[in-house]
Amino acid sequence: MTKLPVSKEDLIKKYGPHKQYTPKEGFFGAHEPDKLVKTHCCFCGMQCGIQLKVKNNSVVGFEPWMEFPFNEGRLCPKGVERYLQNNHPDRLLQPLQRLKVKALSRSNGTQPWSGRLQKLNASRKNMAMMPWPCSQAFL
């Protein structure tokens, strides 16, 4: 069996807890949520019902919505992990521009939304002037 390059404690500190490395005292939340917001999962067309735990206007967890007629509280793995994406440290909050260097760092590749939207609109107008009938497509 291979050995991990770092200790389990360092992995948990960097990436958070995992079911395989359950703490002896178990998992618990730091605080009770301010409210439960009934909504639906956005990942697929099934639109499963879910109750999001909200604390200080931020989603901190979820509860199954047992009364929802379609999924009756059950969720797929994507739906279970969905609430973690809003506060993930790798989430992009500003548009990036591809640079001509091999290593792209976010500090020198970010641009304001207004600049990127203007550039995108200018590029779209240039494509509309192309002689090809299928030069644009929208979803």
Rounded Cα–Cα distance for residues 116 and 94 (Å): 10
Q: Which residues contact 104 (CB under 8 A, 6 or more apart)?
A: 96, 98
Mean pLDDT of the chain: 78
Of residues 20 and 102, more confidence is placed in 20
- Containing domain of residue 83, as a range? 31-87
Average pLDDT over residues 33-47: 88
Average pLDDT on 60-73 reads 88
pLDDT band at residue 29, thresholds of 50, 70 and 90?
low
The residue-averaged pLDDT of 74-81 equals 85
- Is residue 82 within 8 A of residue 42, CB to CB? The reply is yes
Residue 40 lies in a domain: yes
CATH code at position 47:
2.20.25.90
Tokens of 68: 């929802």
44 assigned to some structural domain: yes
Share of the chain above pLDDT 70, in %: 76
Domain assignment present for residue 14? The answer is no
Whether residue 32 is predicted with pLDDT greater than 60 in this model: the reply is yes
Three-state secondary structure readout of 57-123: CEEEEEEECCCCCCCCCCCCHHHHHHHHHCCCCCCCCCCECCCCCCCCCHHHHECCHHHHHHHHHHH
pLDDT digits (tens, 9 = 90+) for 81-127: 887 887 788 888 888 777 776 655 545 567 788 888 888 888 888 87
Is the predicted pLDDT of residue 34 greater than 60, yes or no? yes
Number of structural domains, the chain? 1
* Paired residues of 50 in beta bridges: 39, 64
Does residue 43 lie in a domain region? yes
Looking at residue 38, its pLDDT comes to: 93
**pLDDT at residue 35, as a whole number:** 92
